[in-house]
Structure 1
Amino acid sequence: MTPAGPALALKRGSSWANAWQRCRTVAPEAFRDDRVLNLWDAAWRADGRVLPATSPVDGTPVTGPPRLDGTTAHRAVRASLDQHRAWRHVPLPERRARVAATLDALARHRELLALLLVWEIGKPWRLAQADVDRAVDGVRWYLDGIDGMLEERSPLDGPVSNIASWNYPMSVLVHAMLVQALAGNAVVAKTPTDGGVACLTLACALAAREGLPLTLVSGTGGELSPALVRAPEIGCVSFVGGRDTGAAVATAVTDLGKRHILEQEGLNTWGIWDFSDWDTLTAVIPRLFDYGKQRCTAYPRFVVQRRLFDAFLTAYLPAVRTLRVGHPLAVDAPDAPYPALDLGPVINAAKAKELHDQVADAVDRGAVPLHRGSAAGARFLPGQDTSAYVQPVTLLNPPRSSPLHHAEPFGPVDTVVLVDTEAELLAAMNASNGALVATVSTDDPATFGRLAPQIRAFKVGHGVPRSRGDRDELFGGHGASWRGAFVGGELLVRAVTRGPAGERLPGNFPDHQLMP
């Protein structure tokens, strides 16, 4: 427990109890007094074993996911196939109208959805609202252009199965589900084990009211994977998560010849070479810590030309010292605006301990601490549980055997590696087997043009961070960071529909494999 700090208070009307009661009022079919329900076969069902859960924000007990067994999950998938066979014949104008009505409902309940994201996964208020807005605005873009995207295309033979990480329930998972349904598919989704069940349940309740063929179930990956990945009824598997789980999913879908979209983490890196625009770098550093770097496109590694290290520190350290950390709902007075924070907690206390242990081990074996944030300046309620909070840390040269050297920490821990040659720069930027994004800051466009193609990342920025992107630009990854079809823009629709015979989708596939 943290000692009593400034006289902060919980924002009026933002308690978990208040949010839960609002869920029960908005969608009583999906929420009971003490649990959420699973949605399958077009009905909300009180099945599954509900496990206890707490909010990473301050340890408040919240409702955990109602975990199904494998047998029930198979029944849910079979029922989804029946929905799929009916939905695929619904005319596109009607599908568009139902998705549009769903978006209107999500927009009406924007504040409640965002508040659930704060409590369940610790998002600061600004980022929680942005997650909801990106889902709604992103799918509206598809509504406007779906006619052209579906020319000479048809739905798959079975529903799309979605297994996603907890960090972006709305702008990644709900966004994908609605586009998949718009394209003519029934949709199955598993709630992430670590958080987001109430937000997803509310979103799916609003969509189900408009007649969208959604299935939402909870359970462990080991228990549900045979149904959600291997079941013959499934037409496509969309996975967002870690490499260990993703590798198992990749093996299964490849063996079965099943269409798939597998986004996995990679060590995204930012290279500094022959560079002088330090004010620009200083300005971008705080944004790179949004949501505590719990993003697939976060940049936890800086690879810096040794002769520029002093200038890099002069630009980097003042910026990282401005980061605002704390309880996302702690305000100076009950009616004050939500606090403007850069990061709240990480996803749970276990993850916080893992990061603390990794940092301590790296320092014990030679890494040099360049920055350690202090809890003294954080915005906490007096006496609150802070076990899921990690203050920003920056280490120089973590040992090569440390996970911080070769893997994504998924938390507010930066590492810096110094290099002397371009070859060393490229080797350090390619430390993991593929990544999603990378950036090179260099004054010379020719240098960027020479280095960028040699970096094993799907998107490489010139002095600017790259992002996932869902509209005009496709998205994918290199190496172990991605398997299967690329998405973004029209490709997200193409990935979950059938085109002309023999079509091969852009993506990372075995050379012999044509998409079915």
Structure 2
Amino acid sequence: MTFTYEDWKARAAALRFRNDLFIDGKFTPAATRQRFETVNPGSGAVLTDVARGGGEDIDRAVTAARRAFDDGRWSRKSPAERKEVLLHLAALIRQNVPELALLDTLDMGKVIADSSTVDAPGSAHFFQWHAEAIDKLYDEIAPTGGRDLAMIRRMPLGVIGAVVPWNFPLDMATWKLAPALATGNSVVLKPAEQSPLSALMLAELASEAGLPDGVLNVVTGFGEDAGQALGRHPDVDCLVFTGSTAVGKMFQRYAGESNMKAVWPETGGKSPNLIFADADLDQAAEMAAFGIFYNQGEVCSANSRMLVHASVKDEMIDRMRAQAAKVVLGDPLDPASTMGSLVDRAHADRVMSFVEAGKQTARLVCGGERVTHMGSDAYVQPTIFDDVAPDDPLAREEIFGPVLTVQTFEDDAEAVRMANDTVYGLAASVWTRDLSRALDVSEKLVAGTVSVNTVDALSTYTPFGGVKQSGYGRDLSLHAFDKYSALKTTWIKF
């Protein structure tokens, strides 16, 4: 699929937006009839207005999901039957990649080169993978012996509440929906208010694929309204969430104050990238730039802290400056752009507040400026700071933008200590040609994923998630099914 800049602009102009909530198999306005605007951060133009769902709408969606679960229209289908529907959905996603990619690019500012080749096709892959896996998971028979039969079965939980972020709108929804639906649950999805459009189209495609009414419901709206109502709803059996650590803690509190529903959070990160003196510095610099500038740095596992051996720091700084200079900051719809806009002006304000403060406390290597493009000032240059103190907010807080900090270490022990000196534990990277060092350092790093001689290694085959205040939820791989099912023992004496 190769489209020119003009092709993408023409397709964007012809897009059809879905504007209402999707509940019980049909689009419907919010109970209050309230709406909110969703804005293209790349240009500042209003794309459309979307239904602003609230507590009453969440209750309608949960009721529909519970009814669909209890009557078995989906939950009691065989794994093979569920598989066929989800494979059909994967095929429909592939058929609609350009439109789905455009929705995410227009909604949150990511470059079309990524949304059309990574995000949208990846979502089809995730649905296909989980669909193919579900009829290959076997239940168990316990070794009781004698005249006893103890069967251990994996059972769907019921109604899943899923709250997803704006940085990967379609992908993050898919990471939750694919295993939840494959195991037979019903779902109420609350997309981020900044990026609701692809979730609504996904629900429409799921219905077209044969997913029964009520099994997937999408309620667009704000966290304080729809998000809180979903977290507190007494008939939601499990809440899965990707987003900030602060909001993850709120969902844990909502669960404790309501029905003690399981909460699986995947939250913030401040991932270290350890560059040892024996590393391939050219490759390390290229991947380090990808690790912080990809998706405008709006990645929870972004390698935002570069820890480099003092003997090669100057060489790495030179290489990183050169990598930053290669970034093409521009219209997200232009295939030549390699970095688009941040998700909105408010987030750009937040990122720039860190940058401006950092100019007083650290050495600015490159970038550090806000850029206005097509009338929008939500663009921020790729930015690198050197000589960053360990207690500087630049090094400690999740900025969620294209801002890299550089710190130095003298030996392996100091590198590990610095890497682990954070409240987060989502990901880490290690660059060395020494296999013993790679294994030793990786073992000591406190992170959910450690990538050696690459950054942010990720696959459907391996679990993704963190430790400490990065949460404890795991997406992807066969382990994702554990969040959406419970083990039930049936013991028979005969």
- The answer to whether TM tops 0.5 is yes
Residues 56 and 192 of structure 1: CA distance in aligned 2, closer, same or farther (over 3 Å): same
Q: Equivalent residue for 2:296?
A: 292
Match of 1:114 among 101, 104, 118: 101
Match of 1:277 among 277, 280, 285: 280
The answer to whether structure 1 residue 77 and structure 2 residue 62 are counterparts is: yes
Distance apart, 1:202 and its partner CA: 1.0
Matches within 5 A, 1:163-202: 163-195=163-195, 197-202=196-201
Residues 205 and 329 of structure 1: CA distance in aligned 2, closer, same or farther (over 3 Å): same
Aligned 8 A contact 1:156 1:235 in 2: no
What secondary structure is seen at the aligned counterpart in 2 of 1:495?
A: helix
Aligned 8 A contact 1:297 1:468 in 2: no
Q: Equivalent residue for 1:369?
A: 364
Residues 370 and 208 of structure 1: CA distance in aligned 2, closer, same or farther (over 3 Å): same
Rounded Cα–Cα distance in structure 1 between residues aligned with 2:249 and 2:407: 28
Aligned 8 A contact 2:111 2:337 in 1: yes
Residues 150 and 242 of structure 1: CA distance in aligned 2, closer, same or farther (over 3 Å): farther
Distance apart, 1:121 and its partner CA: 1.0
Unaligned residue ranges in structure 2 (runs of 5+):
141-152
Aligned 8 A contact 1:123 1:328 in 2: yes
The answer to whether structure 1 residue 205 and structure 2 residue 214 are counterparts is: no
Q: Equivalent residue for 1:264?
A: 267
Aligned 8 A contact 2:364 2:386 in 1: yes
Distance apart, 1:296 and its partner CA: 1.8
The answer to whether structure 1 residue 494 and structure 2 residue 482 are counterparts is: yes
Rounded Cα–Cα distance in structure 1 between residues aligned with 2:342 and 2:278: 33
Q: Equivalent residue for 1:251?
A: 253
Q: Equivalent residue for 2:395?
A: 405
Q: Equivalent residue for 1:240?
A: 242
Structure 2 counterpart of 1:308, one-letter code = V
Q: Deviations over 1:311-331 (max 9, x none)?
A: 22233222221111110224x
How many residue pairs align between the two structures? 465
Structure 2 counterpart of 1:298, one-letter code = A
What secondary structure is seen at the aligned counterpart in 2 of 1:20?
A: coil
Q: Equivalent residue for 1:27?
A: none
Q: Equivalent residue for 1:52?
A: 37
Aligned 8 A contact 2:105 2:115 in 1: yes
Match of 1:37 among 17, 20, 23: 20
Q: Equivalent residue for 2:148?
A: none
What secondary structure is seen at the aligned counterpart in 2 of 1:51?
A: strand
Aligned 8 A contact 1:440 1:462 in 2: yes
Aligned 8 A contact 1:396 1:417 in 2: yes
Residues 302 and 134 of structure 1: CA distance in aligned 2, closer, same or farther (over 3 Å): same
Rounded Cα–Cα distance in structure 1 between residues aligned with 2:461 and 2:208: 30
What secondary structure is seen at the aligned counterpart in 2 of 1:320?
A: helix
Residues 54 and 229 of structure 1: CA distance in aligned 2, closer, same or farther (over 3 Å): same
What secondary structure is seen at the aligned counterpart in 1 of 2:399?
A: coil
Residues 96 and 369 of structure 1: CA distance in aligned 2, closer, same or farther (over 3 Å): same
Aligned 8 A contact 2:266 2:474 in 1: no
Q: Deviations over 1:43-71 (max 9, x none)?
A: 21122411123211111111243112213
Distance apart, 1:401 and its partner CA: 5.1
Rounded Cα–Cα distance in structure 2 between residues aligned with 1:238 and 1:451: 31
What secondary structure is seen at the aligned counterpart in 1 of 2:379?
A: coil
The answer to whether structure 1 residue 66 and structure 2 residue 51 are counterparts is: yes
More strand by proportion, 1 or 2? 2
Task: Name whichever of 179-188 and 169-178 sits farther off.
Answer: 169-178
Rounded Cα–Cα distance in structure 2 between residues aligned with 1:170 and 1:17: 17
Distance apart, 1:233 and its partner CA: 1.4
Q: Equivalent residue for 1:336?
A: none
What secondary structure is seen at the aligned counterpart in 1 of 2:384?
A: strand
Aligned 8 A contact 1:115 1:128 in 2: yes
Q: Equivalent residue for 1:394?
A: 384
Residues 240 and 19 of structure 1: CA distance in aligned 2, closer, same or farther (over 3 Å): farther
Rounded Cα–Cα distance in structure 2 between residues aligned with 1:373 and 1:321: 13
Matches within 5 A, 1:11-26: 11-12=6-7, 14=9, 18-21=13-16, 23=17
Rounded Cα–Cα distance in structure 2 between residues aligned with 1:422 and 1:321: 31
Unaligned residue ranges in structure 1 (runs of 5+):
1-8, 24-30, 331-338, 503-516
What secondary structure is seen at the aligned counterpart in 2 of 1:414?
A: strand
The answer to whether structure 1 residue 222 and structure 2 residue 224 are counterparts is: yes
Q: Equivalent residue for 1:432?
A: 422
TM-score, length of structure 1 as denominator length: 0.84
Rounded Cα–Cα distance in structure 2 between residues aligned with 1:232 and 1:360: 44
Rounded Cα–Cα distance in structure 2 between residues aligned with 1:476 and 1:175: 12
Q: Equivalent residue for 1:303?
A: 307
Distance apart, 1:154 and its partner CA: 4.0
Rounded Cα–Cα distance in structure 2 between residues aligned with 1:310 and 1:83: 61
Task: Name whichever of 472-481 and 71-80 sits farther off.
Answer: 71-80
Superposition misfits of 4+ residues, deviation over 6 angstroms: 373-376
Residues 468 and 481 of structure 1: CA distance in aligned 2, closer, same or farther (over 3 Å): farther
Rounded Cα–Cα distance in structure 1 between residues aligned with 2:51 and 2:340: 26
Match of 1:319 among 323, 332, 353: 323
TM-score, length of structure 2 as denominator length: 0.88
Distance apart, 1:240 and its partner CA: 0.1
Aligned 8 A contact 1:270 1:299 in 2: yes
Distance apart, 1:247 and its partner CA: 1.0
What secondary structure is seen at the aligned counterpart in 2 of 1:271?
A: strand
Match of 1:343 among 336, 339, 342: 339
Rounded Cα–Cα distance in structure 2 between residues aligned with 1:486 and 1:173: 14
Rounded Cα–Cα distance in structure 2 between residues aligned with 1:97 and 1:444: 47
Residues 157 and 357 of structure 1: CA distance in aligned 2, closer, same or farther (over 3 Å): closer
Distance apart, 1:476 and its partner CA: 2.2
Aligned 8 A contact 1:404 1:415 in 2: yes
Q: Deviations over 1:385-429 (max 9, x none)?
A: 131100111011335554322122111111111223434322321
Q: Equivalent residue for 1:509?
A: none
The answer to whether structure 1 residue 478 and structure 2 residue 467 are counterparts is: yes
Distance apart, 1:10 and its partner CA: 6.0
Q: Deviations over 1:451-499 (max 9, x none)?
A: 2222121111222113343x2212221101013x433211112221122
Aligned 8 A contact 1:16 1:62 in 2: no
Aligned 8 A contact 1:297 1:467 in 2: no
Match of 2:76 among 89, 95, 105: 89
What secondary structure is seen at the aligned counterpart in 1 of 2:100?
A: helix
